[in-house]
Structure 1
Amino acid sequence: MPPNCIAPRPEENGEATVQGLTDMSETQGKPVLAFPVATSQPGLQLSMYSITLKFEEVVYKVKIEQTGQCLGSWSCKEKTILNGITGMVCPGEILAMLGPSGSGKTTLLSALGGRLSKTFSGKVIYNGQPFSGCIKRRTGFVAQDDVLYPHLTVWETLFFTALLRLPSSLTRDEKAEHVDRVIAELGLNRCTNSMIGGPLFRGISGGEKKRVSIGQEMLINPSLLLLDEPTSGLDSTTAHRIVTTIKRLASGGRTVVTTIHQPSSRIYHMFDKVVLLSEGSPLYYGPASSAMEYFSSVGFCTSMTVNPADLLLDLANGIPPDSQKETSEQEQKTVKEALISAYEKNISTKLKAELCNADSHSFEYTKSAAKNIKSSEQWCTSWWYQFTVLLQRGVRERRFESFNKLRIFQVISVAFLGGLLWWHTPKSHLQDRTALLFFFSVFWGFYPLYNAVFTFPQEKRMLIKERSSGMYRLSSYFMARNVGDLPLELALPTAFVFIIYWMGGLKPDPTTFILSLLVVLYSVLVAQGLGLAFGALLMNIKQATTLASVTTLVFLIAGGYYVQQIPPFIVWLKYLSYSYYCYKLLLGIQYTDDDYYECSEGVWCRVGDFPGIKAMGLNSLWIDVFVMGVMLVGYRLIAYMALHRVKLR
């Protein structure tokens, strides 16, 4: 075990006693676990694995564009976000990162959690090992922004998280018990059955949302807990309660790192270690209780009794203690330079030597730890289990959105209006009847496409958050999202066809009707796949809808109804249009080449000779079915591959 790290209390015979969340005070002078880690029942295990986190000389720079694009070093300027940050956090400790806005706290936290999108120099290791999938699944990360589904209740949000993140050795009822304990500990009983809420409707308060976000991470009994501004937007009492809960989590053997902007005095004294940052540079690292003494020793003492956090933040801003007047920029710069110099002289060298000494003692500990967690590299739940849970969650989340009255009214009203316009169209009016079939292919080629375009861009933040935590496989999410949308995607077009088909006076044959309905539903699934692909490729609603608009316009023109003789050099466009194949299949179901219609009074003409139908052709329908099948699979495959490209860090 590395020096200066207090080992978590070992449980006798490898077993721990179940402790409720509401009974987490110090028991007989020993720290107790905030959550049940194990029970005497076989199979009920939430294994506890301690993590010692070390970070050495972490440097992170970004390029700032000056003129045009950054094509070379001459046109870009580098800005240092983190400048040589070093430290260590042991199991049972809380490390707090303090500093003014823009000092690099969140960036450092992201680097420690393996979520920094770009590479950084330096070393971040967990028990002597680099970041891995195993560490990711044992890490709880609470972002500053609360990313939650608005239509789920507090209990549903936490319960689905428990189902996905807790091991399969726990039963559904046992996971529900964990949820109830977390709700009780975080003081969420009052809003248990309240919806989270969003921009379009009111839900729980901002402070309650923050507690729900923390609760999601507390559920998994994390070995490493990272929190970005967990007290932001909370009143002092609630903030103290949150930090008290975090302190108890740490006392159970967890490693806790948090950023915090301006803690109260009583919250500050709960921290074990503090890192003070100013414009990316460290000004202090060490015990929170020794910070005031250190700054006094380097010439920055105060004659007043103040909150240590206030003094530290003033110094990070370059404001000396007891300053009664406004400090100039030059004076602030001088103070910061003096503090950086003092850090290099008094802390940096000693800290590096301490970490170097810790490395020489950590090999045996790391080797045994790696052996204990070897089996945890696998997913804690099966693919099918993840799929079913995500499907249930998706249906519950979208139950109001999918079957809202406005969408139903929109489709039904269009169906009735279309039915009235094509009311019992005579067989002799072949032009009008083919127009009705083309309307089928157009409306149900474009309506589901535009709905599907919004799917992944709207869920991008949630997808990044949950996949960054190793909550589920991308494939299980993707399949659940596709299947979960089917009820609405198929129910509304079915009702639409039922209404307009019979009102329009199309061929009154049950087999023909069923085949026509199946073709329309087939087209709906293809169009939905294209919309998903557009959304996943661009991940931007405005760009995706613009591309969808251009595509639908091209497909409309090349669909075989408006332009029948397309020039050879651009004829390939119609073969890309699923509206073309849908229209052709609907024609082939309604008519054959040898059917006849009354082309003028007393004159009967062959349907196959009608210009619009002759240009389309009524043969080789199975080829059209196959091509649409390729589109159905291909579009979704493109969407799936595009989601793989979404950066999780």
Structure 2
Amino acid sequence: MEQVSSNIVKPELDHSAHQMVLYPITLKFQEVVYKVELKGKQEKTILNGVTGMVNPGELLAMLGPSGSGKTTLLTVIGGRLTGKLSGKITYNNQPFCGSTKRRTGFVTQDDVLYPHLTVTETLLFTAMLRLPKSLTQDEKVNHVDRVVTELGLSKCKNCMIGGPLFRGISGGEKKRVSIGQEMLINPSLLLLDEPTSGLDSTTAQRIMTTIKRLANGGRTVVTTIHQPSSRIYHMFDKVILLSEGSQIYYGPGSTALDYFYSIGFSTSVTVNPADPLLDLANGISPDSIQDYELGENAEEERKAVRKKLITCYETNISTKLKTDLCDLDVCNYKHAKEGLAGSRAQSEQWCTNWWHQFKVLLIRGIRERRFEAFNTLRIFQVISVAILAGLLWWRTPTSHIADRIAMLFFFSVFWGFYPLYNAVFTFPQERRMLIKERSSGMYRLSSYFLARTIGDLPLELALPTAFTFILYWMGGLKPDPTTFILSLLVVLYTVLVAQSLGLAIGAILLKDVKQATTLASVTTLVFLIAGGYYIQQIPPFIVWLKYLSYSYYCYKLLLGIQYDETDAYECSKGVYCKVADFRVVKSVGLDNLTMDLLVMALMLIGYRFVAYLALHRVR
């Protein structure tokens, strides 16, 4: 079993990439305390002095009821939690650093995967981002194939992951894909949060068998688990039992029941050892569980049981454990420390360069959104509005100057608001994926940001182009190719600016989409009113609002392209008036178009820069 696991990643990778060698990591965490601030400046202790150690080749399981601090402790070990944290966590007697991060695989409880990618595509794109640039494309593909085979995903390797709206692979297969993403880097330390959550017992057994096999290959594996079956429990080399953030047991899983029996908690004959352990973690003595459920002072009794368990742990296990950790010979880690130190300089750098990350992320984004790009509903929505508007403004005569100007304002309004609302959801929808991948050090934020925004351009620009083609000619605007092309460029320019504002709003309010859409609605209404069409004489104290509206600049540019100072229209029978003197046009003006273009360019760059800075806050 050990030989099978080690063969997954070592033979063909060692010669070409020093970073891929499996360096054993001994994990030690001592007196870990973590607190969070609640409302009213009160503090709550999530972890209260947790201590333990895991050696290479061992599988450590963290048990405990919901809210006991299992996931928090795992996140702390993975170097993904900051705040009021104290204690000492070392990896081969070294603190957490870039080299350790690159060698740590972290599988979250929820499978965060792109639904429209296949299993192979998901793993291949991960390999292209996380494996070092010294590996060729063929070597990365072969490595993905080996991981697919090892994890038993061969039958579904060409199937889509699936999501809430369409069926894909099963839950167990998704979990194995998530594990496979971390296995691609041949992690020395593998952390898994509730890998069996939501799975049936047979599938959970298969997942844990795979995890156990990975541990046997020389990896240090730590997992949280809520309710293991008896077969799964017997796979654990070590167990940590948590109760409301406090530790009540650390040691071999096989001796846990004997320990609790020795301190006065006799357990009835049970098939699954995890059941009485979880009862104890809840403060319920297994031999009197019915009395606790029916007793009037159940909560007080549970507190008493917990207090006794913590006291016994401090007396019987904690003191000896701390002594053992302190007495460990540092020389035992010399070989592993030298291996890590030798690659630390390289590991601190990105595995791939910026351009490679950008290309991979761009291709992945296009493949993931290829179905959205050809979304029939969106195409129908835009084309139907264009045709309906074209029929309403059908070949509007030049004498109907008010209708023609209203048509131009409609261009600025529709393509000032439609892309904004679509862009608002861009980053909130990918928040979980961004957190997961950035936590793993897969790519630079700048390469992701540009790839994500540029990948959306074909769809974002194709629809307004089709819209303009339809409405411009149906509406009877100036039949000049140059004027049409300039009008189209202004519309596309406005789309990019509106998209930029939507990205900024979505990035700032990343965690609350409702607030983001509300802010977008208020902003668009203000821009609509101040756009220069509805109100010509805005009071001086609030006139600055129109200069913030890109709809105003788009409207003005479209007017300036369609008309000049010498154009006239038939204002009454046989009488011609200058377009520039028409009330709506005069309030906006037909001059300073270059300045308007520069202001919109400033908005385009500024909004995107704000969005980029806002994404830097994502942790």
TM-score, scaled to structure 2: 0.95
- Aligned counterpart in structure 1 of residue 534 of structure 2, from 541, 554, 562: 562
Question: Residue 61 of structure 1 aligns with which residue?
Answer: 35
Does structure 2 conserve the Cα–Cα contact (< 8 Å) formed by 1:147 and 1:462? yes
Q: Which residue of 2 aligns with 1:591?
A: 563
User: For residue 135 of structure 1, what is the amino acid of its counterpart?
Assistant: T
**What is the CA–CA distance in structure 1 between the aligned matches of 2:471 and 2:289, rounded to whole Å?**
80
Closer/same/farther in 2, CA of residues 158 and 360 from structure 1, 3 Å limit: closer
Q: Tell me whether 390-399 or 314-323 shows the greater mean CA deviation.
A: 314-323
Three-state SS of the structure 1 residue aligned to 2:50 is: strand
Equivalent residue runs for 1:552-631 within 5 Å: 552-631=524-603
1:366 offset after TM fit, Å?
7.0
Of 490, 506, 518, 1:519 maps to: 490
Q: How does 1:435-454 map to 2 (within 5 A)?
A: 435-454=406-425
The equivalent of 2:48 in structure 1 is: 83
Which residue identity does 2:282 align to in structure 1? N
Measure how far apart 1:253 and its partner are: 2.2
Deviations 1:330-373 (A, max 9, x none): 44333322221111111111111111122754684575232333
Q: Does 1:50 align with 2:15?
A: no
C-alpha contact (below 8 Å) 1:304/1:322 kept by paired residues = no
- In 1, the alpha carbon distance for the partners of 2:499 and 2:400 equals 32
Give 1:233's aligned residue. Answer: 198
The residue identity in structure 2 corresponding to 1:468 is S
Asked if 2 retains the 8 angstrom alpha-carbon contact of 1:127 and 1:362, the reply is no
Q: Which runs of 5+ in 2 are unaligned?
A: none
Q: Which residue of 1 aligns with 2:314?
A: 344
Q: Which residue does 1:388 correspond to in 2?
A: 359
Pairs within 5 Å for 1:242-641: 242-302=207-267, 304=269, 306-323=271-288, 325-327=290-292, 328=295, 329=298, 330-358=300-328, 360-361=330-331, 364=334, 368=338, 369-539=340-510, 540-641=512-613
Contact 1:57 1:84 in 2 (8 A): yes
Q: 1:32 to 1:185 in 2, by over 3 A?
A: closer
Find the counterpart in structure 2 of residue 14 from structure 1. Answer: none
Amino acid at match of 1:293: D
Deviates more, 1:552-561 or 1:257-266: 257-266
| CA separation of 1:40 and 1:202: change in aligned 2, threshold 3 A | closer
- What is the alpha-carbon distance in structure 2 between the residues aligned to residue 386 and residue 324 of structure 1? 56
Q: Is residue 38–residue 44 contact of structure 1 (8 Å, CA) maintained in 2?
A: no
Q: 1:530 to 1:362 in 2, by over 3 A?
A: farther
- Which letter does structure 2 place at the counterpart of 1:217? E
Counterpart secondary structure, 2:84: coil
Change (3 A) 1:473 1:26: closer
Deviation at 1:117, TM superposition (A): 4.9
Output the amino acid matched with 1:481: R
State the secondary structure of the residue aligned to 1:169.
coil
Shift, 1:146, TM fit: 1.4
Is 2:206 the counterpart of 1:210? no
Count of residues in Structure 1 that have an aligned counterpart in Structure 2:
611
Identical-residue share of aligned pairs (%): 73
Question: What whole-Å deviation, never above 9, does each CA across 1:443-491 have from its counterpart, x for those lacking one?
Answer: 0000000000011111111111111111111101100011010011000
- Secondary structure at 1:373's aligned position in 2? helix
C-alpha deviation, 1:632, in angstroms: 0.7
Q: Equivalents in 2 of 1:627, 1:411: separation in Å?
A: 28
CA distance in 2, matches of 1:295, 1:459: 46
Give 1:91 deviation, angstroms: 1.6
Q: Structure 1 residues 432, 303: CA separation in 2 closer, same or farther (over 3 Å shift)?
A: closer
Give structure 1 regions of 4+ aligned residues with deviation exceeding 4 angstroms.
359-367
Separation of aligned partners in 2, 1:80 and 1:94: 27
Give 1:344's aligned amino acid.
E
Query: Is the Cα contact below 8 Å between 2:35 and 2:84 reproduced in 1?
Result: no
1:176 Cα deviation after fit: 2.2
Shift of 1:208: 2.2
Give distance in 2, aligned partners of 1:131 and 1:44. 22
1:287 Cα deviation (Å)?
1.9
Distance 1:98 1:378 in 2: 36
Shift of 1:234: 2.2
Give how far 1:41 is off. 8.2
Aligned-residue RMSD, C-alpha: 1.9
Aligned partner (choices 105, 128, 139) of residue 70 of structure 2: 105
Instruction: Write the deviation string for residues 200-251 of structure 1: whole angstroms up to 9, x where unpaired.
Output: 2222222222222222112221111110111122233322222222122222
- Correspondent of 1:644 among 609, 616, 619: 616
How far off is 1:193 after superposition?
2.4
- Aligned letter for 2:12? T
Which amino acid is the alignment partner of residue 352 of structure 2?
A: T
Counterpart residue type for residue 490 of structure 2:
V
Per the alignment, do residues 361 and 26 of structure 1 end up closer, same or farther by CA in structure 2, a change over 3 Å counting? closer
How does the TM-score come out when normalised to structure 1? Answer: 0.90
Aligned with 2:91 (options 121, 126, 131): 126
CA distance in 1, matches of 2:287, 2:484: 85
**Which digits, 9 at most, give the CA deviation of each residue in 1:41-98, with x for residues without a partner?**
8525522222221111111223333xxxx2x5xxx3x332211101111222111101
Structure 1 stretches of 5 or more lacking a match?
1-24
Q: Distance in 1 between matches of 2:286 and 2:578?
A: 98
Letter in 2 for 1:228: D
Tell me if structure 1 keeps the 8 A contact 2:2–2:217.
Answer: no
Q: AA paired with 2:444?
A: R
Residue 161 of structure 2: aligned partner: 196
- 3-state SS of 2:291 partner: coil
* CA offsets 1:395-441 (integer angstroms, 9 cap, x no match): 11111122211100000001011111111111111111111111111
Matched ranges for 1:136-155 at <5 A: 136-155=101-120
Any idea what SS the aligned residue of 1:325 has? Answer: helix
Confirm or deny: 8 A CA contact 2:172 2:207 kept in the other structure. Answer: no
The CA distance in 2 between the partners of 1:333 and 1:552, in whole Å, is 56
Deviations 1:588-640 (A, max 9, x none): 11111011221111111122212211111111111111111111111000000
Letter in 2 for 1:593: E
User: Post-superposition shift, 1:102?
Assistant: 1.6
CA distance in 2, matches of 1:538, 1:64: 22
Classify 1:58/1:195 alpha carbon distance in 2 versus 1 (closer, same or farther; 3 Å): same
Q: How far apart in 1 are the matches of 2:556 and 2:417?
A: 17
With over 3 angstroms needed to count, the CA separation of the structure-2 counterparts of 1:324 and 1:586, relative to structure 1, is closer
* Contact 2:92 2:337 survives alignment (8 Å): no
| Corresponding letter in the other structure for 2:224 | T
The answer for the alignment partner of 2:149 in structure 1 is 184
CA distance in 2, matches of 1:478, 1:529: 12
Instruction: Summarize the Cα distance change of 1:364–1:220 in structure 2 as closer, same or farther, 3 Å threshold.
Output: closer
Name the aligned partner's letter for residue 466 of structure 1.
E
Moved more, 91-100 or 305-314: 305-314
Match of 1:171 among 136, 151, 159: 136
